[in-house]
Amino acid sequence: METPTVSGRVTDEKGEPLPGAIVYVAPDGSRGWAIVNEEGRYSVPAVVGDSLRIEFLGYMRQTVEVKKRRLDIRMEVDTIAMNEVIRVAYGPPPARFDSGRPVQEETTQTQPE
């Protein structure tokens, strides 16, 4: 007997595919998962009534109930998460990473051969 599957596309707010997004059967993906391909397509072993979770860096995680075997998902940008990534990447490190010890500069001289 063939395992039932749910398939569809994962796109951004403009309808562009999101290759690399992860789609898995909630809660933990132990029943099935897939990585979205270049065309935005995925297929996971799931049945009507299951919940799928979709994750992609920079986008809000979604949980969607399976109501039919074809399920297209439109992701939304997570502007708060993106602001955090940018702030951490370009700003000073948080105080919890500051050891308080001065950095010692070490110089090395090369000896002529």
Question: Is 101 part of a structural domain of the chain?
Answer: no
Is the pLDDT at 98 greater than 80? The verdict is: no
Provide the residue range defining the domain that includes 15: 5-92
pLDDT band, very low/low/confident/very high, at 112 (cuts 50, 70, 90): low
Question: Is 74 part of a structural domain of the chain?
Answer: yes
Question: Is 76 part of a structural domain of the chain?
Answer: yes
Gap between the Cα atoms of 66 and 23, Å rounded: 12
Tokens matching residue 25: 């059967």
Is the pLDDT at 105 greater than 60? The verdict is: no
Mean pLDDT of 11-38: 94
Tokens matching residue 46: 């799931």
Question: Is 45 part of a structural domain of the chain?
Answer: yes
Tokens matching residue 113: 């051969």
Structural domain total, the chain: 1
Gap between the Cα atoms of 83 and 72, Å rounded: 27
Question: Is 103 part of a structural domain of the chain?
Answer: no
Report the DSSP pairing between strands 5-11 and 51-55.
unpaired
Question: Is 110 part of a structural domain of the chain?
Answer: no
Q: Are 53 and 61 in contact (CB under 8 A)?
A: yes
Q: Give the predicted TM-score (pTM) of the model.
A: 0.68
Work out the mean pLDDT of the chain and round it to a whole number. Answer: 82
Q: Among all chains, which residue has been given the structure tokens 């059967």?
A: 25
Question: Is 23 part of a structural domain of the chain?
Answer: yes
Nearest 10 degrees: Cα torsion 53, 56, 59, 61: 20
For the domain that residue 45 is a member of, what is the CATH number? 2.60.40.1120
Question: Is 111 part of a structural domain of the chain?
Answer: no
Q: What is the pLDDT of residues 34-50, one digit of tens each?
A: 999 999 999 999 999 99
φ, ψ (nearest 5 deg) of residue 8: 170, -160
